[in-house]
Amino acid sequence: MNDNKQIPTLFEWVGDITTFETLFTKFYDKVLKDELIGGLFEHMSPEHVAHVTHFVAEVFGAGELYSVGDQGSHARMIGKHIGKMLTEQQRQRWMNLLIQTADEIGLKSDPEFRSAFVGYLEWGTRIAVINSQLTSNPMNEGAPMPTWGWGETKGPYIES
């Protein structure tokens, strides 16, 4: 065993930003055609796909693509979901379409990566549903961006 070997970030394991761009572009093509969740995204900005791509890539260790490159923040991403009244069925469809797209584009499928990938998606989408029921953003602008790695667990989500 080589103890000097650096464990790659999830982003490095995926390969590069092009893989994330392909994943989210193809995913949102499916989303827009979906009868359950398509309407939620029919008026999304032209930058939406890039922002989500950069957000997830940054969470997985790509560097500050969203927070600096897009001038975004975790609070700003949370704010996008406030008042949307998302349902569990919509969350599940979003998840299913993204995992289906990941398989279709050949995203790494080793159990360790997929466990981390799906773990983050489950965590993030469940928080999105919780926040979508609120009328104001519980996150302050200075809150750090989330990070996700190999085997993350986060504490309980506390509403303010």
Please report where in the chains the tokens 């469809």 appear, as a residue: 93
For residue 81, say whether it is annotated as part of any ligand binding site.
no
Q: How far apart are the first and last CA of the chain?
A: 46
pTM of the model: 0.90
In contact, 20 and 56? CB cutoff 8 Å: yes
Please report where in the chains the tokens 């970030």 appear, as a residue: 9
pLDDT tens, N- to C-terminus, the chain (160 residues): 455 679 999 999 999 999 999 999 999 999 999 999 999 999 999 999 999 999 999 999 999 999 999 999 999 999 999 999 999 999 999 999 999 999 999 999 999 999 999 999 999 999 999 999 999 998 888 889 999 999 877 665 554 4
**Alpha carbons 14 and 54: distance in angstroms, whole number:** 14
**Alpha carbons 4 and 104: distance in angstroms, whole number:** 35
Q: Other C-beta atoms within 10 Å of 141: how many?
A: 10
